Structure 1
């Protein structure tokens, strides 16, 4: 891995953006939480693994697509960074809006009744792959880590690292929210969590928009 110090800051920023993105409950997280609360920890974990698999698929598709695009059109990186930066600023707005709202999370059990562990895993994968916001989020995350003429290993490190983080975090959601006390703790801390997310997304968005490479 040549020039690790050149690409490491971007890789760490991509990891950080991914971690904070999945700290903000979206359809996939709410499905994991709702399943753990209403069905049980085992089913929630199975759903979490499916969601993590979907995240991995989006990451691979995004890295492959952006790498091919940059190989053909080097100037495309500028457009991608503008798009990614604006999306991160939009996430910052949504997080600050959520922090200001008194509305709590709404985690519900999946429709269609109970399933086998494989059924929950498949459902989690489908939830993640059919979420249009996932594609936008991954473009923003990958564009934080990719620099002009970045070698192949940079994309592989981002994909592999985020996949491991996805499995860990989604599984932790399934385990933690199978206990009523964790639901209560998160409900009380929700506004602070969302405000922190908003600050980071604003920082990452501005950094991406003002970066030169």
Structure 2
């Protein structure tokens, strides 16, 4: 079996590109931040795990060559794209409604609302990532950039393992960071602005997904 570390010079540039992408603000990270701030550390960690599992699903799929299958069955890809875009628009609408409420009305709504279960939080995180078909092509680009043609399985496992471990640390790190008392105080003082920003981010991401060509 070839020495897997021979492929490290190819893997590092792809890993750096992935690290920049996973650290950048986007629908997934905003979902983690917003949940951790408003619902606490446990909720933030659970939704982060859901998002990580969605990312891992696409990582494994890209490694197995599912992107080629999706290109063949264009209808399935279009359906996934529409579902993902509509889901992000739905999240934008919820954030917009929250931003429109006064702090007093928001407190009443939160009191009346039943806490989301771990399953609901995990599924929300998973849905954000797994309904975005662009994610699989992102992973396919990472694997293509990081490895030469016909790489051994060990090299594929290495790059997927490095990137997946990093994404898990980043997602859970955001959940931990934004679940502190200081973050909660900032959220309470600027809740409406934060919710409005989240609505804009979700709207732009959903609109881009619905109108893009894949």
Q: TM range, normalised to the smaller chain?
A: 0.5 to 0.7
Structure 1 residue aligned with 2:131? 130
The answer for the alignment partner of 2:161 in structure 1 is 160
Paired residues, what number?
A: 146
Q: Are 1:53 and 2:43 matched, yes or no?
A: no
Taking a change above 3 Å as real, the CA distance of residues 141 and 181 of structure 1, as seen in their structure-2 partners, is farther
- The equivalences for 1:74-89 within 5 A come to none
State the match for 1:120 in structure 2: 121
> 4+ residue stretches of structure 1 with deviation over 6 A?
66-69
Supply the distance in 1 between the matched residues of 2:30 and 2:164 (Cα, whole angstroms). Answer: 19
The match for 1:19 is: 19
1:145 correspondence with 2:141: no
Q: What secondary structure, in the 3-state scheme, does the structure 1 residue paired with 2:149 have?
A: coil
Deviations 1:166-211 (A, max 9, x none): 2111000011112375697xxxxxxxxxxxxxxxxxxxxxxxxxxx
Aligned CA-pair RMSD? 2.9
- Higher radius of gyration, 1 or 2: 2
Q: Are the aligned partners of 2:61 and 2:136 in contact in 1 as well (CA < 8 Å)?
A: no
Aligned counterpart, 1:34: 34
Distance 2:119 2:166 in 1: 21
- Counterpart CA distance in 1 for 2:138 and 2:182 is 31
Distance 1:137 1:114, change over 3 A: farther
TM-score (normalised: structure 1): 0.60
* TM-score after normalising by structure 2: 0.59
State the shift of 1:146 in Å: 1.7
Instruction: Give the drift of 1:128.
Output: 0.7
1 CA distance for matches of 2:122 and 2:128? Answer: 10
